[in-house]
Amino acid sequence: MTPNGSIRRRLFYQLAGVAALLSLAFFLVVRGVAERAAEGTQDDILAASATAIADSIRSEAGGATLDLPYSALSMLGTVGQDRVFYRVTVSGQTLTGYDDLPAPTLTQRHGEPAFETALYRDDEIRVVSIARPIGAQASRSVAIVTVAQTRQGLESISRRITTLATGIAAGFFFLATALSLWAASSALAPFDRLTEAVTRRGPKDLRPVTANTPSELVPLVDALNSFMGRLRTSLHRTEDFIAEAAHRVRTPLATVRAQAEVTHLKLTKDEHKKAIREMIRAIDESSRSAGQMLDHAMVTFRADSLTREDLDLVAVAQETCARLGPTADLKDIAIHRVMPDHKVHFQGDGILLQAALLNILDNAIKYSPEESEITVSLTEDGDGLRLSVTDQGRGFGNIDLSRLTNRYERGANVGDVVGSGLGLTIAEDVAQAHGGTLSVASNAKGAGACVSFILPR
């Protein structure tokens, strides 16, 4: 399967993108609100200054006088180091101030300030004007008070606000990005738990997955369990078929062998006896192959639900040697047993361990010459238990020893000997089911082979 991107990376990028958009929106909102607040503060101070000046205008002898209050202009100095301009006109005539100072159009009612941003003497200014009626009703005139202030201070405040807003938005973005990474990992944690629950199983563990998963993963888990159920059923049917086939083949073969032996005793011609002996040999090999197929099916089935019981490996090895002793005697092969003089306890499946040892020892007898020796030894060391079978036979020839545990793989020098190539496969499956390994090597003392069954203590 070719990976098509990463859900975690895609989710992280999406959340980080949302965080970036929110950070930008936060920056714009904070800067806009702060700038409007700063500009509103300046407008309020300008309006208060203009109002204070307008309140100081008096009508005297048909004219207007103004005692310019100091506080009206000094309060503008609190905003910053900006320059302040003012102008007071009565009936269109300048009473005091800057004649060329522009004034905003008064569209409001008398007494309500009018604001405008204009350019004056190459500086941007904020201008406010207030209109006040003065004098008696018959000779009433209108005084317009205009106060202006440059905007350098406001721009300085705006820059500080922008810097602060940028820092806050950046901090918000990095925090949101970190939380996005955490959220992506947290959201995908059920996938990791499901993956771990499946990957830590053995290669033959097809039990249903029972890990707690969110509702979105339930269809996937159900589909996985359904698939494993079908696979488990198929494997059981295959194993049952192999076991049944091996059983049904061995029974008639035993009958044919018995009839062949009876016929062999009745024959008198050497060529006929030779033919019958070849037939008996082929029947034995076929029966042996059927037995190994049965053993392989049995090992595959029992390894899924391994039985653990307290065993004495010395007793298991001694019983195996005793069972194959008559077969070895037919070739005058001596089986030497090198065992500890005490029990060697091990928690394992006795049937599987004996099946593995039977196949290893049977191979040693099968490929050893007549009047040779086989040594079965059991040793203990710090790493585990080593049950070894060493013979003086043909060895394995010029072949990669690691391939010998593959199914139907045999040595390069045993083509004239009938065999199924399942013995070492069965032994390795049993070793792995018990957490051990199978070691295949040439005999260190000369011709032959050494197969060791290594188990953890």
Q: How confident is the model at residue 175 (pLDDT cuts 50, 70, 90)?
A: confident
Can you give the pLDDT at residue 446? 61
Separation between Cα atoms, residue 348 and residue 352, nearest integer Å: 8
Which of 309-323, 409-423, 431-445 has maximum average pLDDT? 309-323
| 3 state SS of 127 | strand
Output the average pLDDT for the chain: 80
Confidence of residue 5 (pLDDT cuts 50, 70, 90): low
Say what angle helices 313-329 and 350-367 make with each other, to 10 degrees: 30
Given a cut of 80, whether residue 427 has pLDDT beyond it is: yes
Q: For position 111, what pLDDT does the model report?
A: 64
Looking at residue 140, its pLDDT comes to 74
Cα(349)–Cα(130) distance, integer angstroms: 104
**Residue among 414, 416, 417 at smallest CA distance from 399:** 414
Confidence of residue 172 (pLDDT cuts 50, 70, 90): confident
218 is written with which tokens? 């339930």
Closest CA to 53 of 10, 113, 105, 3: 113
pLDDT score, position 70 = 76
Closest-CA residue to 401 (of 392, 391, 411)? 411
Q: Give the range among 103-117, 210-224, 226-240 with minimum mean pLDDT.
A: 103-117
Helix, coil or strand: residue 263: helix
SS3 content of the chain, % helix, strand, coil (to 5): 55, 20, 25
Q: Which residues contact 139 (CB under 8 A, 6 or more apart)?
A: 62
Is residue 271 predicted with pLDDT exceeding 80?
yes
Cβ neighbours, 10 Å, residue 380 = 13
Determine the Cα–Cα distance for residues 321 and 336; give it in Å rounded to an integer. Answer: 9
pLDDT of residue 167: 84
d(CA 451, CA 441): 6
> Residue 110: its pLDDT value, please?
59
Q: How many angstroms separate the CA atoms of 341 and 456, rounded?
A: 20
Residue 392 per-residue DSSP state: -
Give tens-digit pLDDT for 300-330.
Answer: 777 766 778 888 889 999 998 888 888 888 7
For residues 108 and 114, what is the distance between their CA atoms, to the nearest angstrom? 7
Q: Tell whether the model's pLDDT for residue 195 goes beyond 60.
A: yes
Residues 6 or more apart whose CB falls under 8 angstroms from that of 444 comprise: 450
Q: Average pLDDT for residues 212-228, to the nearest whole number?
A: 83
Mean pLDDT of 397-407: 70
Predicted confidence band of residue 265 (pLDDT cuts 50, 70, 90): confident
Among 251, 195, 247, which Cα is nearest to 7's? 195
The pLDDT assigned to 400 comes to 65
Confidence class for position 413, pLDDT limits 50, 70, 90: low
DSSP labels, 412-431 = TT-TTS---S-HHHHHHHHH
Centre a 10 Å sphere on the Cβ of residue 139 and count the other Cβ atoms it contains: 10
**The dihedral of CA 151, 153, 155, 158: what is its sign?**
negative
Q: Are 83 and 57 in contact (CB under 8 A)?
A: no
pLDDT band (50, 70, 90) for residue 122: confident
Report yes or no: 153 and 81 within 8 Å, Cβ to Cβ. Answer: yes
* Cα-to-chain-centroid distance, residue 356: 38
How many whole angstroms separate alpha carbon 50 and alpha carbon 21?
43
Contact 360, 389 (CB under 8 A): yes
Q: 394: closest CA among 436, 444, 443?
A: 443
97 - beta bridge partners?
87
The secondary structure of residue 175, as a DSSP letter, is: H
CA 368 – CA 451 distance, rounded (Å): 14
Per-residue confidence band for 296, with pLDDT thresholds at 50, 70 and 90: confident
- The CA radius of gyration of the chain, in Å to the nearest whole number, is 51
* In contact, 117 and 102? CB cutoff 8 Å: no
Query: pLDDT value at position 162?
Result: 79
Question: What's the pLDDT score for residue 418?
Answer: 57
Q: Is the per-residue pLDDT at 17 higher than 60?
A: yes
Report pLDDT for 2: 58
Q: What is the mean pLDDT of residues 42-60?
A: 84
**CB-neighbour burial class of residue 69 (10 A; exposed 0-12, middle 13-18, buried 19+):** middle
Predicted confidence at residue 420, as pLDDT, reads 64
- Averaged pLDDT for residues 118-130: 87
